[in-house]
Chains A and B, each alone.
Chain A
């Protein structure tokens, strides 16, 4: 369990104020998600010890890193929080190999963690070992920074928008490595991000922040199905994140069948083998509804559902929450359609989801 509570004020009495607290299970990946300037990076700095907060308590699996009330504050060099900074911060005068070993050499002798070779292999940075950071691309730098943090045998891995400084192709290059690290090692990760696709690919838990406060915490799936969080539901790419499992591939028709708590979805062919778990975000704008069973449609996924709620979303649109067994889907329709079809809670409908909505380009891969 990672418990964080922080109270900090920048500048004078009217300065920016952070008043945030959350607790999240470990191991696992927790994403601090919110718009720029919401205080999520400050929170991360306080956990790492790089910020001296007015009041704070941070405890990881019972070990107190800082507790201002008890006058405990471990210096950053003794917290054993590996940090991956947005700007990599590799030491320019040292080779990639020496950079990687920097934290490893200073880790306590009894600390366990991945071996040098394993990390180098996993991150694909063997050809870079002899180079200087100045001769690396942005994506390579981030991979080395990730390796350096991992090799310092951290109890907690902190990532401060690790992909935000990269352009789209570099981002796509590094994201799979983050996912690999997340799956291979059991170190708890706290990830600061404002990109939803990073949340989908990496996070188990979400801490939603705005203006220095925590709006909500919960699993990515649970928070994504809520309509009362404009920060999530108000986005153009809002939608429910579904925990799915690959049932079977139909290579001839280019389709993969995915099972989820509310039934089955057919999506364009996936790379994951049958049986593998994956998360699929079904965007609200890709889900439409029909009040009678539709026939003769190109849409692959037609799922019976119950309308759970109808809420206004902007002047001319409505957000529907649909219940499919254990699962929920969000659907964004025009206000005109909602009134024409007399959509109301309790109404039985069919949810329509186009397979093509899950094209690979939407997965950020």
Chain B
């Protein structure tokens, strides 16, 4: 019943891809959330739509768009390859990029919700006390939205473990390279007699997802408590 060593490889790869996607997606997601919550600029609704696009588009389309943009002949992909020798298609890095794009809106939404809950009056108070924009953000805003960032990151991580369509389209299904958990399950179901492998991997996938959600909730509450904002 316990997964075999070669099956664990897909689990490890999934964890690594999801972790990387969150690590690289988090800073731009916080910035986007901040712009959407506090910014007053033309094109704000366009940015809002763009950020949420991966939620409503078929993942395969996202993967295809990435392929067109970051492929070796794509406008960005060709430059990356020529200047830095970086190739994203069919690589673990590419799988991470596809996962990051798909989970981006999840982080933005979580961060934005907690930003909306921060009293702008506190930022105004920090201003009158001599704090400039970056200072205010780092010492007041960021600590207060930390629970939102954390729960957004954990949710995105859990969702990233299972990203399928965008990854298989952009990074393909290469064992040890881009074959994450869901891709391995898919491959197993396509193989005669692979039902047992699929079942074992599906069980791992389920356990990881549940653990992720529980952790997100717990971490959010512990952090809120530490920040002195929980209901007394």
Contacts from A to B (Cβ < 8 Å): 48-50, 75-83, 85, 87, 89, 91-93, 102-103, 106-107, 132-135, 148-149, 152
Choose among A81, A83, A91, A106 the residue with the greatest number of B CB atoms under 10 Å from its CB. Answer: A91
Q: Complex Cα distance A247/B132, Å? A: 52
Docked Cα-Cα span, A87 to B119, in Å, equals 11
Docked Cα-Cα span, A26 to B135, in Å, equals: 32
21 of the cross-chain contacts (CB-CB < 8 Å) are: A49-B128, A76-B128, A78-B130, A79-B128, A81-B128, A83-B125, A83-B128, A85-B121, A85-B125, A89-B124, A91-B125, A91-B140, A93-B227, A93-B228, A102-B131, A102-B139, A106-B130, A106-B131, A107-B130, A149-B128, A152-B130
| Residues of chain A within 8 A of B128, CB atoms compared | 48-50, 76-77, 79, 81-83, 149, 152
Contacts of A79 in B (CB 8 A): 128
Nearest neighbor of A45 in chain B, beta-carbon distance: B124
CA distance A228 to B232 in the complex (A): 51
Contact assessment for B119 and A103 in the assembled complex, using a CB-CB cutoff below 8 Å? no
A-B contact count (CB 8 A): 69
How far is it, in angstroms, between the C-alpha of A89 and the C-alpha of B120 when the chains are bound? 10
Min distance, Cβ A207 to any Cβ of chain B, angstroms: 21
CB <8 Å contact, A89 and B121: yes
Given contact pairs A89-B122, A92-B144, A133 touches B228 in the complex (Cβ within 8 A) = yes
- Which A residues are CB-close (under 8 A) to B143? 93
Count chain B residues whose beta carbon lies closer than 8 angstroms to a beta carbon of A.
21
**A50→B144 contact, CB < 8 A:** no
The proximity string for B residues 99-136 relative to A, scoring 1 for CB distances below 8 Å and 0 otherwise, is: 00000000000000000000101101111111110010
Please give the distance in Å from A66's CB to the nearest CB on chain B.
14
Whether B229 sits at the interface, judged by CB under 8 Å, is yes
Contacts of B122 in A (CB 8 A): 89, 91-92
| Min C-beta distance of B218 to chain A, whole Å | 19
Chain A residues within an 8 Å CB radius of B132: 77
Contacts of A107 in B (CB 8 A): 130
Residue of A nearest to B231 (CB): A134
Assess A76 versus B124: contact at CB under 8 Å? Given A102-B129, A106-B130, A106-B131.
yes
Are A50 and B127 interface neighbours, CB within 8 A? yes
Provide the residues of chain B in CB contact with A135, threshold 8 Å.
228
Looking at the assembled complex, report how far the CB atom of A164 sits from the nearest CB atom of chain B, in whole angstroms: 15
Q: Mark B126-167, 1 if CB is under 8 A from A, else 0.
A: 111111100100011001100000000000000000000000
Further contacts, 15 of them, CB under 8 A, given A93-B144, A93-B227, A106-B129: A48-B128, A77-B127, A77-B132, A89-B119, A89-B125, A91-B125, A91-B140, A92-B229, A102-B129, A103-B129, A103-B130, A106-B130, A107-B130, A148-B129, A152-B129
| Residue of B121, B130, B131, B135 with most partner-chain A CB within 10 A | B130
Query: Which A residue's beta carbon lies closest to that of B232?
Result: A134
Residues in A whose Cβ lies below 8 Å from that of B135:
106
Assuming the A-B contacts A85-B125, A134-B232, are A92 and B227 also in contact, with contact meaning beta carbons closer than 8 angstroms in the complex? yes
Query: In the complex, A358→B139 CA distance in Å?
Result: 49
> Could you tell me which residues of chain B, from 162 to 180, have a CB within 8 Å of some CB in chain A?
none
How far does the alpha carbon of A85 sit from the alpha carbon of B124 in the complex, in Å? 10
Q: For the complex of A and B, list the 10 residue pairs with the smallest distance between their C-beta atoms, beginning with the closest.
A: A106-B130, A103-B129, A132-B228, A89-B125, A76-B127, A93-B227, A83-B128, A134-B228, A93-B143, A77-B127
Which residues of chain B are within 8 angstroms of A93 by Cβ–Cβ distance?
143-144, 227-229
B residues less than 8 Å from A77 (CB atoms): 127-132
Question: With a CB–CB cut-off of 8 A, which chain A residues contact B131?
Answer: 77, 102, 106
In chain A, what residue has the closest Cβ to B127? A76
Q: Which residues of B contact A75 (CB under 8 A)?
A: 127
Which residues of chain B have C-beta atoms less than 8 A from A50's C-beta?
A: 124, 127-128
Interfacial chain B residues near A82, Cβ < 8 Å: 128-129
Residues of A within 8 Å of B127, CB to CB, are: 49-50, 75-77
Q: Return A161 CB to nearest CB of chain B, in Å.
A: 14
CB-nearest residue of chain B to A111: B130
Residue-by-residue, is B186-229 near A (CB-CB < 8 Å gives 1, otherwise 0)? 00000000000000000000000000000000000000000111
